[in-house]
Structure 1
Amino acid sequence: MRIGLLGTGPWAEIAHGPALAAHPDVEFTGIWGRRPEAAAALAATLGTRAYADVDELIGDVDAVAIALPPDVQAPLAARAAAAGRHLLLDKPVATTVTDARLVADAAEAAGVASVVFFTLRFDATSSAWIDEQAARDGWFTARAEWLGSVFTSGDSPFADSPWRREKGALWDVGPHALSVLLPVLGDVTALTAVQGPGDTVHLVLRHDSGASSTAALSLTAPPAAAGMTVELRGTTGVASLPDRADGPVPAFGNAIDALLTAVRTGVPHPCDARFAARVTELLVSADPV
Protein backbone atom coordinates (compact mmCIF):
# COMPACT_ATOMS: atom_id res chain seq x y z
CA MET A 1 0.00 0.00 0.00
CA ARG A 2 1.25 3.48 -0.90
CA ILE A 3 0.90 5.77 2.10
CA GLY A 4 1.74 9.45 2.37
CA LEU A 5 2.27 11.37 5.60
CA LEU A 6 0.68 14.74 6.27
CA GLY A 7 2.51 16.55 9.06
CA THR A 8 6.07 17.22 10.19
CA GLY A 9 5.80 17.90 13.94
CA PRO A 10 7.20 15.91 16.87
CA TRP A 11 4.65 13.08 16.60
CA ALA A 12 5.37 12.71 12.88
CA GLU A 13 9.08 12.51 13.69
CA ILE A 14 8.72 10.19 16.69
CA ALA A 15 5.98 7.78 15.59
CA HIS A 16 4.31 8.13 12.20
CA GLY A 17 7.34 8.68 9.99
CA PRO A 18 9.68 6.01 11.42
CA ALA A 19 6.89 3.41 11.51
CA LEU A 20 5.90 4.08 7.90
CA ALA A 21 9.53 3.94 6.78
CA ALA A 22 10.09 0.62 8.56
CA HIS A 23 6.88 -1.20 7.64
CA PRO A 24 7.50 -4.04 5.14
CA ASP A 25 4.05 -3.86 3.54
CA VAL A 26 4.02 -0.10 2.94
CA GLU A 27 5.52 2.07 0.24
CA PHE A 28 6.22 5.32 2.08
CA THR A 29 5.43 7.60 -0.84
CA GLY A 30 6.17 11.01 0.63
CA ILE A 31 5.57 13.77 3.16
CA TRP A 32 3.65 17.03 3.01
CA GLY A 33 3.74 19.68 5.72
CA ARG A 34 2.60 23.22 6.30
CA ARG A 35 6.29 24.18 6.56
CA PRO A 36 8.02 23.05 3.34
CA GLU A 37 11.47 23.20 4.90
CA ALA A 38 10.39 20.84 7.68
CA ALA A 39 8.86 18.44 5.15
CA ALA A 40 12.10 18.44 3.16
CA ALA A 41 14.20 17.76 6.27
CA LEU A 42 11.99 14.94 7.54
CA ALA A 43 11.71 13.36 4.09
CA ALA A 44 15.51 13.37 3.76
CA THR A 45 15.87 11.72 7.17
CA LEU A 46 13.35 9.00 6.37
CA GLY A 47 14.39 8.40 2.78
CA THR A 48 11.26 9.57 1.02
CA ARG A 49 10.04 12.54 -1.01
CA ALA A 50 8.78 15.92 0.16
CA TYR A 51 5.66 17.21 -1.59
CA ALA A 52 4.95 20.91 -1.96
CA ASP A 53 1.25 20.35 -2.73
CA VAL A 54 -0.99 18.27 -0.49
CA ASP A 55 -3.39 17.33 -3.29
CA GLU A 56 -0.50 16.02 -5.38
CA LEU A 57 0.48 13.71 -2.53
CA ILE A 58 -3.11 12.58 -2.01
CA GLY A 59 -3.28 11.82 -5.72
CA ASP A 60 -0.18 9.61 -5.57
CA VAL A 61 -1.19 7.32 -2.69
CA ASP A 62 -3.69 4.70 -1.56
CA ALA A 63 -3.89 6.04 2.00
CA VAL A 64 -2.83 9.00 4.10
CA ALA A 65 -1.45 9.07 7.62
CA ILE A 66 -2.10 12.38 9.35
CA ALA A 67 -0.07 13.85 12.22
CA LEU A 68 -1.50 17.36 12.38
CA PRO A 69 -3.50 19.41 14.89
CA PRO A 70 -7.10 18.15 14.99
CA ASP A 71 -8.61 21.28 13.44
CA VAL A 72 -6.23 20.85 10.49
CA GLN A 73 -6.53 17.07 10.36
CA ALA A 74 -10.31 16.89 10.02
CA PRO A 75 -10.84 18.78 6.73
CA LEU A 76 -7.79 17.14 5.14
CA ALA A 77 -9.00 13.70 6.20
CA ALA A 78 -12.43 14.34 4.72
CA ARG A 79 -10.78 15.60 1.53
CA ALA A 80 -8.59 12.51 1.26
CA ALA A 81 -11.54 10.19 1.91
CA ALA A 82 -13.58 11.90 -0.80
CA ALA A 83 -10.66 11.18 -3.15
CA GLY A 84 -10.92 7.48 -2.25
CA ARG A 85 -7.95 7.34 0.11
CA HIS A 86 -7.92 5.22 3.25
CA LEU A 87 -7.28 7.05 6.52
CA LEU A 88 -4.76 6.51 9.31
CA LEU A 89 -5.53 9.35 11.72
CA ASP A 90 -4.53 10.54 15.17
CA LYS A 91 -6.61 11.36 18.20
CA PRO A 92 -8.57 13.51 18.70
CA VAL A 93 -9.89 13.23 15.18
CA ALA A 94 -11.44 16.70 15.56
CA THR A 95 -12.42 19.14 18.29
CA THR A 96 -15.95 19.83 17.09
CA VAL A 97 -18.77 17.36 16.61
CA THR A 98 -19.42 18.74 13.13
CA ASP A 99 -15.85 18.14 11.97
CA ALA A 100 -15.64 14.70 13.59
CA ARG A 101 -18.85 13.56 11.92
CA LEU A 102 -17.64 15.08 8.64
CA VAL A 103 -14.63 12.75 8.69
CA ALA A 104 -16.65 9.65 9.63
CA ASP A 105 -19.37 10.42 7.07
CA ALA A 106 -16.80 11.06 4.32
CA ALA A 107 -15.05 7.75 5.00
CA GLU A 108 -18.32 5.82 4.99
CA ALA A 109 -19.64 7.57 1.87
CA ALA A 110 -16.42 6.77 -0.03
CA GLY A 111 -16.21 3.22 1.30
CA VAL A 112 -12.66 3.71 2.57
CA ALA A 113 -11.16 2.19 5.70
CA SER A 114 -10.20 4.33 8.68
CA VAL A 115 -8.08 3.68 11.75
CA VAL A 116 -7.48 6.26 14.49
CA PHE A 117 -4.30 5.90 16.54
CA PHE A 118 -5.45 5.68 20.15
CA THR A 119 -2.01 4.58 21.33
CA LEU A 120 -2.97 2.04 24.02
CA ARG A 121 -5.34 0.27 21.65
CA PHE A 122 -2.37 -0.61 19.45
CA ASP A 123 0.25 -1.39 22.09
CA ALA A 124 0.46 -5.19 22.21
CA THR A 125 0.30 -5.58 25.99
CA SER A 126 -2.28 -2.87 26.62
CA SER A 127 -4.62 -3.92 23.81
CA ALA A 128 -4.56 -7.58 24.96
CA TRP A 129 -5.44 -6.45 28.50
CA ILE A 130 -8.29 -4.26 27.27
CA ASP A 131 -9.72 -7.12 25.18
CA GLU A 132 -9.45 -9.48 28.17
CA GLN A 133 -11.33 -7.10 30.47
CA ALA A 134 -13.96 -6.32 27.83
CA ALA A 135 -14.75 -10.05 27.64
CA ARG A 136 -15.54 -10.17 31.38
CA ASP A 137 -18.87 -9.26 32.93
CA GLY A 138 -19.57 -7.77 36.31
CA TRP A 139 -17.50 -4.59 36.30
CA PHE A 140 -18.72 -2.23 39.00
CA THR A 141 -16.51 0.82 38.65
CA ALA A 142 -13.22 2.05 37.19
CA ARG A 143 -10.64 4.74 37.88
CA ALA A 144 -8.40 6.23 35.20
CA GLU A 145 -5.64 8.77 35.78
CA TRP A 146 -3.63 10.43 33.02
CA LEU A 147 -1.50 12.96 34.89
CA GLY A 148 1.18 14.39 32.63
CA SER A 149 3.76 17.12 33.13
CA VAL A 150 4.01 18.28 29.52
CA PHE A 151 3.78 21.95 30.56
CA THR A 152 5.66 21.68 33.86
CA SER A 153 8.67 19.44 33.22
CA GLY A 154 10.44 21.72 30.74
CA ASP A 155 11.61 18.90 28.49
CA SER A 156 8.56 17.65 26.59
CA PRO A 157 8.68 17.88 22.78
CA PHE A 158 4.95 18.70 22.90
CA ALA A 159 5.21 21.68 25.25
CA ASP A 160 5.19 24.16 22.36
CA SER A 161 2.12 22.63 20.71
CA PRO A 162 -0.39 25.50 20.26
CA TRP A 163 -3.45 23.26 20.12
CA ARG A 164 -2.45 21.41 23.31
CA ARG A 165 -1.94 24.70 25.12
CA GLU A 166 -5.35 25.88 23.95
CA LYS A 167 -7.33 22.67 24.50
CA GLY A 168 -5.44 21.13 27.44
CA ALA A 169 -5.47 17.66 28.92
CA LEU A 170 -9.15 16.98 28.25
CA TRP A 171 -8.45 16.88 24.53
CA ASP A 172 -4.92 15.45 24.54
CA VAL A 173 -5.09 12.62 27.08
CA GLY A 174 -8.87 12.43 27.50
CA PRO A 175 -9.14 10.36 24.29
CA HIS A 176 -6.70 7.82 25.77
CA ALA A 177 -8.82 7.37 28.90
CA LEU A 178 -12.04 7.03 26.91
CA SER A 179 -10.43 4.58 24.47
CA VAL A 180 -9.82 2.22 27.41
CA LEU A 181 -13.02 2.78 29.41
CA LEU A 182 -15.54 2.57 26.57
CA PRO A 183 -14.68 -0.89 25.19
CA VAL A 184 -14.67 -2.37 28.70
CA LEU A 185 -17.63 -0.61 30.38
CA GLY A 186 -19.72 0.44 27.39
CA ASP A 187 -20.88 3.73 25.94
CA VAL A 188 -21.34 6.75 28.18
CA THR A 189 -24.90 7.68 29.12
CA ALA A 190 -24.08 10.52 31.54
CA LEU A 191 -20.98 12.64 32.05
CA THR A 192 -20.01 15.37 34.52
CA ALA A 193 -16.80 17.40 34.39
CA VAL A 194 -15.14 19.46 37.12
CA GLN A 195 -12.14 21.73 36.53
CA GLY A 196 -9.06 21.26 38.71
CA PRO A 197 -5.77 23.16 38.97
CA GLY A 198 -4.12 24.23 35.74
CA ASP A 199 -5.63 22.33 32.84
CA THR A 200 -6.65 19.44 35.10
CA VAL A 201 -10.17 18.10 34.65
CA HIS A 202 -12.02 15.37 36.52
CA LEU A 203 -14.70 13.34 34.74
CA VAL A 204 -17.44 11.21 36.30
CA LEU A 205 -19.08 8.85 33.83
CA ARG A 206 -22.05 6.50 33.80
CA HIS A 207 -21.89 3.67 31.26
CA ASP A 208 -24.65 1.73 29.56
CA SER A 209 -23.46 -1.45 31.30
CA GLY A 210 -24.53 0.13 34.60
CA ALA A 211 -20.95 0.67 35.74
CA SER A 212 -19.53 4.06 36.66
CA SER A 213 -16.02 5.43 36.22
CA THR A 214 -13.87 8.44 36.95
CA ALA A 215 -11.00 9.97 35.01
CA ALA A 216 -8.44 12.54 36.18
CA LEU A 217 -6.66 14.26 33.31
CA SER A 218 -3.81 16.77 33.34
CA LEU A 219 -0.84 18.06 31.39
CA THR A 220 0.14 20.43 34.21
CA ALA A 221 0.80 17.99 37.05
CA PRO A 222 4.03 18.43 39.02
CA PRO A 223 6.63 16.09 37.50
CA ALA A 224 6.87 14.12 40.75
CA ALA A 225 3.11 13.50 40.64
CA ALA A 226 2.89 12.44 36.99
CA GLY A 227 1.76 8.97 36.03
CA MET A 228 -0.90 6.87 34.34
CA THR A 229 -3.24 4.37 35.98
CA VAL A 230 -6.35 2.43 35.01
CA GLU A 231 -7.97 0.26 37.67
CA LEU A 232 -11.15 -1.77 37.25
CA ARG A 233 -13.16 -3.27 40.12
CA GLY A 234 -15.96 -5.81 39.82
CA THR A 235 -17.22 -9.27 40.67
CA THR A 236 -13.99 -10.88 39.52
CA GLY A 237 -11.84 -8.59 41.65
CA VAL A 238 -9.43 -5.82 40.72
CA ALA A 239 -7.58 -5.45 37.40
CA SER A 240 -4.90 -2.84 36.66
CA LEU A 241 -3.61 -1.80 33.27
CA PRO A 242 -0.08 -3.22 32.84
CA ASP A 243 2.85 -1.11 31.76
CA ARG A 244 3.11 -0.63 28.02
CA ALA A 245 5.45 -3.06 26.29
CA ASP A 246 5.97 -1.12 23.08
CA GLY A 247 7.16 2.34 22.20
CA PRO A 248 5.25 4.55 19.76
CA VAL A 249 6.89 3.14 16.61
CA PRO A 250 5.85 -0.51 17.15
CA ALA A 251 2.40 0.64 18.26
CA PHE A 252 1.96 2.76 15.14
CA GLY A 253 3.20 -0.20 13.10
CA ASN A 254 0.32 -2.19 14.60
CA ALA A 255 -2.05 0.60 13.56
CA ILE A 256 -0.73 0.29 10.00
CA ASP A 257 -1.39 -3.45 10.18
CA ALA A 258 -4.92 -2.71 11.38
CA LEU A 259 -5.56 -0.42 8.42
CA LEU A 260 -4.23 -3.01 5.98
CA THR A 261 -6.51 -5.63 7.53
CA ALA A 262 -9.55 -3.36 7.38
CA VAL A 263 -8.85 -2.63 3.71
CA ARG A 264 -8.37 -6.31 2.88
CA THR A 265 -11.40 -7.64 4.77
CA GLY A 266 -13.80 -4.72 4.56
CA VAL A 267 -14.46 -5.11 8.32
CA PRO A 268 -14.28 -1.79 10.19
CA HIS A 269 -11.71 -1.56 12.95
CA PRO A 270 -13.08 -0.81 16.45
CA CYS A 271 -10.99 2.39 16.50
CA ASP A 272 -12.34 3.77 13.25
CA ALA A 273 -13.44 7.31 12.46
CA ARG A 274 -16.96 6.66 13.77
CA PHE A 275 -15.62 5.60 17.17
CA ALA A 276 -13.33 8.65 17.16
CA ALA A 277 -16.34 10.86 16.42
CA ARG A 278 -18.10 9.45 19.48
CA VAL A 279 -15.04 10.27 21.58
CA THR A 280 -15.17 13.84 20.26
CA GLU A 281 -18.87 14.08 21.16
CA LEU A 282 -18.06 13.10 24.74
CA LEU A 283 -15.15 15.52 25.01
CA VAL A 284 -17.28 18.37 23.70
CA SER A 285 -19.92 17.59 26.32
CA ALA A 286 -17.22 17.77 29.02
CA ASP A 287 -15.50 20.92 27.74
CA PRO A 288 -16.28 23.95 29.92
CA VAL A 289 -15.44 26.38 27.08
Structure 2
Amino acid sequence: MRIGLLGTGPWARAVYAPALAGHPGVEFAGVWGRRPEAAAALAQRYDSRPYADVDALLADVDAVAIALPPSVQAPLAVRAARAGRHLLLDKPLALSVEDARAVAEAAERAQVASVVFFTPRFQKEPRNWIEEQAAVKGWFTARAQWLGAVFTTDSPYATSPWRQEKGALWDVGPHALSVLLPILGDVTRVVAARGPGDTVHLVLDHAAGASSTVTLSLTAPQEAAGVEFELRGESGVTAMPAASDDNALGQAIDALLTCVETGRRHPCDAAFGLRVTEILAAAEARLAAEAE
Protein backbone atom coordinates (compact mmCIF):
# COMPACT_ATOMS: atom_id res chain seq x y z
CA MET A 1 0.00 0.00 0.00
CA ARG A 2 1.38 3.39 -1.03
CA ILE A 3 0.93 5.85 1.80
CA GLY A 4 1.68 9.56 1.97
CA LEU A 5 2.38 11.65 5.05
CA LEU A 6 0.66 14.98 5.63
CA GLY A 7 2.67 16.97 8.15
CA THR A 8 6.29 17.87 8.90
CA GLY A 9 6.24 18.97 12.55
CA PRO A 10 7.90 17.30 15.57
CA TRP A 11 5.27 14.52 15.78
CA ALA A 12 5.62 13.76 12.07
CA ARG A 13 9.41 13.76 12.23
CA ALA A 14 9.80 11.79 15.47
CA VAL A 15 7.00 9.22 15.10
CA TYR A 16 5.17 9.08 11.79
CA ALA A 17 7.96 9.28 9.25
CA PRO A 18 10.17 6.63 10.92
CA ALA A 19 7.20 4.28 11.37
CA LEU A 20 6.10 4.61 7.76
CA ALA A 21 9.62 4.25 6.40
CA GLY A 22 10.31 1.20 8.57
CA HIS A 23 7.07 -0.69 7.99
CA PRO A 24 7.41 -3.62 5.57
CA GLY A 25 3.75 -3.53 4.53
CA VAL A 26 3.67 -0.01 3.11
CA GLU A 27 5.62 2.16 0.71
CA PHE A 28 6.35 5.59 2.16
CA ALA A 29 5.42 7.33 -1.07
CA GLY A 30 5.54 11.03 -0.27
CA VAL A 31 5.39 13.97 2.12
CA TRP A 32 3.32 17.13 2.00
CA GLY A 33 3.57 19.95 4.50
CA ARG A 34 2.46 23.51 4.93
CA ARG A 35 6.14 24.49 4.61
CA PRO A 36 7.52 23.06 1.32
CA GLU A 37 11.13 23.26 2.52
CA ALA A 38 10.29 21.12 5.56
CA ALA A 39 8.52 18.56 3.37
CA ALA A 40 11.57 18.41 1.10
CA ALA A 41 13.94 17.87 4.03
CA LEU A 42 11.80 15.15 5.60
CA ALA A 43 11.25 13.34 2.30
CA GLN A 44 14.98 13.40 1.54
CA ARG A 45 15.78 11.90 4.94
CA TYR A 46 13.63 8.85 4.18
CA ASP A 47 14.22 8.60 0.43
CA SER A 48 10.64 9.63 -0.25
CA ARG A 49 9.16 12.31 -2.50
CA PRO A 50 8.13 15.82 -1.45
CA TYR A 51 4.90 17.27 -2.76
CA ALA A 52 4.12 20.96 -3.02
CA ASP A 53 0.44 20.25 -3.78
CA VAL A 54 -1.66 18.04 -1.52
CA ASP A 55 -3.96 16.95 -4.35
CA ALA A 56 -0.98 15.73 -6.34
CA LEU A 57 0.04 13.55 -3.40
CA LEU A 58 -3.51 12.23 -3.02
CA ALA A 59 -3.51 11.25 -6.69
CA ASP A 60 -0.39 9.11 -6.22
CA VAL A 61 -1.20 7.16 -3.03
CA ASP A 62 -3.64 4.59 -1.64
CA ALA A 63 -3.74 6.07 1.88
CA VAL A 64 -2.60 9.04 3.94
CA ALA A 65 -1.23 9.35 7.44
CA ILE A 66 -1.99 12.73 8.97
CA ALA A 67 0.28 14.30 11.60
CA LEU A 68 -1.11 17.82 11.72
CA PRO A 69 -3.00 19.97 14.23
CA PRO A 70 -6.58 18.72 14.54
CA SER A 71 -8.11 21.84 12.99
CA VAL A 72 -5.93 21.22 9.93
CA GLN A 73 -6.32 17.44 9.97
CA ALA A 74 -10.11 17.42 9.71
CA PRO A 75 -10.59 19.21 6.36
CA LEU A 76 -7.64 17.37 4.80
CA ALA A 77 -9.05 14.03 5.99
CA VAL A 78 -12.36 14.87 4.33
CA ARG A 79 -10.49 15.78 1.15
CA ALA A 80 -8.52 12.53 1.22
CA ALA A 81 -11.60 10.41 1.87
CA ARG A 82 -13.44 12.04 -1.03
CA ALA A 83 -10.45 11.11 -3.19
CA GLY A 84 -10.91 7.49 -2.09
CA ARG A 85 -7.84 7.35 0.14
CA HIS A 86 -7.71 5.31 3.35
CA LEU A 87 -7.01 7.27 6.52
CA LEU A 88 -4.52 6.91 9.36
CA LEU A 89 -5.54 9.77 11.63
CA ASP A 90 -4.26 11.31 14.83
CA LYS A 91 -6.16 12.26 17.94
CA PRO A 92 -8.18 14.29 18.54
CA LEU A 93 -9.97 13.77 15.25
CA ALA A 94 -11.04 17.44 15.29
CA LEU A 95 -11.64 20.29 17.72
CA SER A 96 -15.36 20.56 17.00
CA VAL A 97 -18.15 18.04 16.67
CA GLU A 98 -19.07 19.49 13.30
CA ASP A 99 -15.59 18.93 11.86
CA ALA A 100 -15.29 15.45 13.36
CA ARG A 101 -18.68 14.47 11.96
CA ALA A 102 -17.58 15.68 8.52
CA VAL A 103 -14.59 13.31 8.63
CA ALA A 104 -16.64 10.33 9.82
CA GLU A 105 -19.34 10.94 7.22
CA ALA A 106 -16.82 11.39 4.40
CA ALA A 107 -15.10 8.11 5.30
CA GLU A 108 -18.46 6.33 5.48
CA ARG A 109 -19.67 7.68 2.14
CA ALA A 110 -16.40 6.85 0.39
CA GLN A 111 -16.18 3.44 2.08
CA VAL A 112 -12.53 3.99 2.96
CA ALA A 113 -10.84 2.44 5.97
CA SER A 114 -9.98 4.72 8.88
CA VAL A 115 -7.92 4.23 12.01
CA VAL A 116 -7.39 6.92 14.67
CA PHE A 117 -4.10 6.58 16.55
CA PHE A 118 -5.18 6.38 20.19
CA THR A 119 -1.83 5.19 21.57
CA PRO A 120 -2.95 2.73 24.33
CA ARG A 121 -5.18 0.89 21.89
CA PHE A 122 -2.12 -0.09 19.82
CA GLN A 123 0.33 -0.97 22.58
CA LYS A 124 0.42 -4.71 23.27
CA GLU A 125 -0.03 -4.87 27.05
CA PRO A 126 -2.58 -2.03 27.40
CA ARG A 127 -4.52 -3.28 24.35
CA ASN A 128 -4.72 -6.83 25.72
CA TRP A 129 -5.75 -5.53 29.16
CA ILE A 130 -8.50 -3.36 27.66
CA GLU A 131 -9.85 -6.30 25.66
CA GLU A 132 -9.77 -8.56 28.72
CA GLN A 133 -11.55 -6.07 30.99
CA ALA A 134 -14.17 -5.29 28.35
CA ALA A 135 -15.29 -8.93 28.63
CA VAL A 136 -15.65 -8.72 32.44
CA LYS A 137 -19.02 -7.79 33.94
CA GLY A 138 -19.79 -5.87 37.10
CA TRP A 139 -17.38 -2.95 37.03
CA PHE A 140 -18.37 -0.42 39.67
CA THR A 141 -15.97 2.45 39.12
CA ALA A 142 -12.74 3.45 37.40
CA ARG A 143 -10.01 5.96 38.17
CA ALA A 144 -7.83 7.38 35.42
CA GLN A 145 -4.92 9.81 35.61
CA TRP A 146 -3.02 11.01 32.56
CA LEU A 147 -0.55 13.57 33.86
CA GLY A 148 1.97 15.02 31.44
CA ALA A 149 4.76 17.54 31.96
CA VAL A 150 4.63 18.97 28.44
CA PHE A 151 4.24 22.56 29.64
CA THR A 152 6.69 22.25 32.55
CA THR A 153 9.66 20.82 30.61
CA ASP A 154 11.48 21.51 27.35
CA SER A 155 9.14 19.23 25.40
CA PRO A 156 9.08 19.97 21.65
CA TYR A 157 5.27 20.05 21.92
CA ALA A 158 5.15 22.77 24.60
CA THR A 159 4.83 25.57 22.04
CA SER A 160 2.16 23.82 19.97
CA PRO A 161 -0.52 26.52 19.48
CA TRP A 162 -3.48 24.13 19.65
CA ARG A 163 -2.15 22.46 22.79
CA GLN A 164 -1.57 25.86 24.36
CA GLU A 165 -5.19 26.77 23.59
CA LYS A 166 -6.95 23.48 24.33
CA GLY A 167 -4.70 21.90 26.96
CA ALA A 168 -4.82 18.41 28.38
CA LEU A 169 -8.56 17.90 27.86
CA TRP A 170 -8.10 17.70 24.10
CA ASP A 171 -4.52 16.37 23.96
CA VAL A 172 -4.51 13.44 26.40
CA GLY A 173 -8.25 13.29 27.09
CA PRO A 174 -8.80 11.30 23.87
CA HIS A 175 -6.35 8.64 25.07
CA ALA A 176 -8.13 8.32 28.42
CA LEU A 177 -11.53 7.97 26.78
CA SER A 178 -10.19 5.40 24.33
CA VAL A 179 -9.35 3.19 27.31
CA LEU A 180 -12.52 3.72 29.34
CA LEU A 181 -15.23 3.55 26.68
CA PRO A 182 -14.65 -0.02 25.45
CA ILE A 183 -14.61 -1.29 29.05
CA LEU A 184 -17.37 0.72 30.74
CA GLY A 185 -19.53 1.68 27.76
CA ASP A 186 -20.55 5.00 26.30
CA VAL A 187 -20.62 8.16 28.42
CA THR A 188 -24.12 9.31 29.35
CA ARG A 189 -23.24 12.31 31.58
CA VAL A 190 -20.18 14.53 32.05
CA VAL A 191 -19.23 16.70 35.02
CA ALA A 192 -16.07 18.81 34.69
CA ALA A 193 -13.95 21.07 36.88
CA ARG A 194 -10.64 22.84 36.46
CA GLY A 195 -7.51 22.29 38.53
CA PRO A 196 -4.09 23.99 38.53
CA GLY A 197 -2.67 25.03 35.19
CA ASP A 198 -4.49 23.24 32.38
CA THR A 199 -5.53 20.38 34.68
CA VAL A 200 -9.09 19.13 34.21
CA HIS A 201 -11.07 16.74 36.42
CA LEU A 202 -13.96 14.78 34.90
CA VAL A 203 -16.65 12.59 36.42
CA LEU A 204 -18.29 10.34 33.84
CA ASP A 205 -21.40 8.20 34.02
CA HIS A 206 -21.27 5.20 31.70
CA ALA A 207 -24.00 3.27 29.92
CA ALA A 208 -23.19 0.02 31.74
CA GLY A 209 -23.92 1.67 35.12
CA ALA A 210 -20.39 2.39 36.29
CA SER A 211 -18.86 5.80 36.90
CA SER A 212 -15.30 6.95 36.37
CA THR A 213 -13.10 9.84 37.45
CA VAL A 214 -10.47 11.22 35.09
CA THR A 215 -7.66 13.69 35.82
CA LEU A 216 -5.84 15.18 32.84
CA SER A 217 -2.90 17.57 32.79
CA LEU A 218 0.00 18.79 30.68
CA THR A 219 1.27 21.05 33.47
CA ALA A 220 2.15 18.44 36.10
CA PRO A 221 5.61 18.65 37.68
CA GLN A 222 7.95 16.26 35.90
CA GLU A 223 8.28 14.19 39.09
CA ALA A 224 4.49 13.76 39.23
CA ALA A 225 3.91 12.84 35.60
CA GLY A 226 2.55 9.43 34.72
CA VAL A 227 -0.40 7.40 33.49
CA GLU A 228 -2.63 5.20 35.65
CA PHE A 229 -5.90 3.36 35.04
CA GLU A 230 -7.59 1.37 37.81
CA LEU A 231 -10.86 -0.56 37.72
CA ARG A 232 -12.85 -1.79 40.71
CA GLY A 233 -15.83 -4.08 40.58
CA GLU A 234 -17.30 -7.46 41.41
CA SER A 235 -14.18 -9.27 40.20
CA GLY A 236 -11.84 -7.13 42.32
CA VAL A 237 -9.26 -4.50 41.41
CA THR A 238 -7.07 -4.32 38.33
CA ALA A 239 -4.68 -1.74 36.89
CA MET A 240 -3.61 -1.24 33.29
CA PRO A 241 -0.05 -2.47 32.73
CA ALA A 242 2.63 -0.31 31.18
CA ALA A 243 3.64 -0.89 27.59
CA SER A 244 6.91 -2.72 26.97
CA ASP A 245 7.57 -1.45 23.44
CA ASP A 246 7.32 1.76 21.43
CA ASN A 247 5.94 0.34 18.18
CA ALA A 248 2.38 1.50 18.70
CA LEU A 249 2.18 3.38 15.40
CA GLY A 250 3.47 0.32 13.57
CA GLN A 251 0.58 -1.61 15.08
CA ALA A 252 -1.83 1.11 13.92
CA ILE A 253 -0.46 0.76 10.39
CA ASP A 254 -1.01 -3.00 10.65
CA ALA A 255 -4.59 -2.32 11.73
CA LEU A 256 -5.22 -0.07 8.73
CA LEU A 257 -3.81 -2.70 6.36
CA THR A 258 -6.07 -5.35 7.91
CA CYS A 259 -9.13 -3.12 7.52
CA VAL A 260 -8.29 -2.50 3.87
CA GLU A 261 -7.75 -6.20 3.21
CA THR A 262 -10.81 -7.50 5.05
CA GLY A 263 -13.27 -4.63 4.69
CA ARG A 264 -13.94 -4.77 8.43
CA ARG A 265 -14.07 -1.58 10.49
CA HIS A 266 -11.62 -0.98 13.28
CA PRO A 267 -12.96 -0.14 16.77
CA CYS A 268 -10.88 3.06 16.67
CA ASP A 269 -12.23 4.31 13.36
CA ALA A 270 -13.38 7.83 12.48
CA ALA A 271 -16.84 7.14 13.93
CA PHE A 272 -15.25 6.35 17.30
CA GLY A 273 -13.11 9.46 16.94
CA LEU A 274 -16.32 11.44 16.45
CA ARG A 275 -17.83 10.03 19.63
CA VAL A 276 -14.70 10.94 21.60
CA THR A 277 -14.91 14.47 20.18
CA GLU A 278 -18.56 14.74 21.26
CA ILE A 279 -17.64 13.81 24.85
CA LEU A 280 -14.72 16.23 24.94
CA ALA A 281 -16.95 19.00 23.58
CA ALA A 282 -19.52 18.25 26.30
CA ALA A 283 -16.81 18.48 28.94
CA GLU A 284 -15.55 21.74 27.48
CA ALA A 285 -19.07 23.15 27.55
CA ARG A 286 -19.42 22.20 31.23
CA LEU A 287 -16.12 23.94 32.02
CA ALA A 288 -17.28 27.06 30.21
CA ALA A 289 -20.55 27.05 32.13
CA GLU A 290 -18.69 26.72 35.44
CA ALA A 291 -16.56 29.74 34.53
CA GLU A 292 -19.55 32.02 33.91
TM above 0.5, yes or no, is yes
Q: Which runs of 5+ in 2 are unaligned?
A: none
The one of 258, 268, 273 equivalent to 1:271 is 268
SS in 2 for 1:112: coil
SS in 2 for 1:213: strand
The one of 272, 282, 287 equivalent to 1:285 is 282
Alpha-carbon displacement from aligned partner over 1:195-250 (angstroms, at most 9, x marks no partner):
11110000000000000000000001111211110000111111111111121xx1
Cα distance in 2 for partners of 1:231, 1:38 equals: 42
Q: More displaced, 92-101 or 32-41?
A: 32-41
> Which residue is equivalent to 1:195?
194
**What TM-score, normalized to structure 2?**
0.97
Amino acid at match of 1:131: E
Cα distance in 2 for partners of 1:12, 1:232 equals: 34
**What TM-score, normalized to structure 1?**
0.98
> Which residue is equivalent to 1:252?
249
Cα distance in 2 for partners of 1:159, 1:40 equals: 25
SS in 2 for 1:151: helix
Runs of 4+ in 1 over 3 A off after TM superposition: none
Cα distance in 1 for partners of 2:248, 2:88 equals: 13
> Which residue is equivalent to 1:177?
176
> Which residue is equivalent to 1:228?
227
Cα distance in 1 for partners of 2:159, 2:35 equals: 16
Cα distance in 2 for partners of 1:17, 1:160 equals: 21
Per the TM alignment, residue 46 of structure 1 is displaced from its structure 2 partner at its CA by 1.5
Cα distance in 2 for partners of 1:47, 1:139 equals: 50
Amino acid at match of 1:265: T
Per the TM alignment, residue 11 of structure 1 is displaced from its structure 2 partner at its CA by 1.0
Amino acid at match of 1:22: G
RMSD value over aligned CA atoms?
Answer: 0.7
Cα distance in 1 for partners of 2:94, 2:55 equals: 21
> Which residue is equivalent to 2:240?
241
Per the TM alignment, residue 157 of structure 1 is displaced from its structure 2 partner at its CA by 1.4
Q: Which runs of structure 2 are paired with 1:67-216 in the superposition (5 Å)?
A: 67-153=67-153, 155-216=154-215
Amino acid at match of 2:12: A
Q: More displaced, 175-184 or 37-46?
A: 37-46
Alpha-carbon displacement from aligned partner over 1:101-155 (angstroms, at most 9, x marks no partner):
00000000001010000001001111011101111111110000011110012x2
Cα distance in 2 for partners of 1:98, 1:134 equals: 29
Alpha-carbon displacement from aligned partner over 1:73-106 (angstroms, at most 9, x marks no partner):
0000000000100000000000100000000000
Cα distance in 2 for partners of 1:25, 1:267 equals: 18
